[in-house]
Amino acid sequence: MGSVKTIGTGICSYSVLEMIDYGSFGDIFKISKNQDKKVYAMKQIKYRGDFRDDAYIMSEIYCLSRLKHRNIIAMHDIVIDVNEIHIIMEYAANENLQRYLLSHEDMLHGQKYDIFAQVLHGVMYCHSMEISHRDLTPVNILLTDDLVVKIADFGLAVKCITDAGSLLLCTDYIGTASYLPPEMILSQQPFLPKPVDVWSLGILLIFIICLEVPYKGFHDDILAQQMKESWVDFLKIKSQALDYRVPKEVICLLEECLRINAMDRVNIDEMLCKWDKCKATAL
């Protein structure tokens, strides 16, 4: 291995071991702390001017500093350099859920359902803390060596209530297109953030079962597919190809998650309760 890059000074000194991933909101590295050689993950975010003026940076720092849960990635430290912020987090050895599932296509559906249950527990905790993730995709869900789920990447997360205590309405229509609900793709009026997570969880569940998402293409293409509720036929065809009969309880839950009207969707508490029954059908 070549030379490593050292960042920070004193007890906040870390060495970069390798790059894990990259993205529009920051690059991810595997690092070790020089003092005790403990391994962490580091998200490196570039900024201009005062980073405190960047709503997405401040949102991620706020969420990670406030959320403490087994299924939420834990923040260890923050190192601020000129034009860069380094968020030091726990390291998840199995990387993200998408890569793991695609390299373990023979995983039992009972195991897949257990993983999804952990995701639900993490999201339910976030919602109980009045935080919505808004970018729940398999790329942003990490797995440890023993397959403990760690929800990560809170760059698009928002508080669900204002400082005055009223419901927050969002007006930024960004995220991963295949996982966006109709109200975000239409981008015509403000929307509530929690139902966005529920829709994304429905698409995530289909991906976990089928290893593909039902909606692809540009926003207009995706919206047309959503209005036709084409996920139903997609799930049927893909599950048959995988020689797996999706339990009716799972299909019923998906119907409640993927309702076009955001206000008609199931909430996360109800979703987790219903999922316990779904898990029993997979055994």
Where in the sequence numbering do the catalytic residues fall? 135
Q: Are 142 and 113 in contact (CB under 8 A)?
A: no
CA distance 110 to 133: 26
End-to-end Cα distance, the chain: 45
143 with 97: CB under 8 angstroms?
yes
CA-to-CA separations, 83 to 5, 13, 80, 155, 258, in angstroms, rounded: 16, 18, 8, 17, 41
Structure tokens at 94: 């199995």
Element (H, E) at 89: strand 84-90
Query: Is 246 in contact with 235 (CB distance < 8 Å)?
Result: yes
User: Three-state SS string across 40-69, please?
Assistant: EEEEEEECCCCHHHCHHHHHHHHHHHHCCC
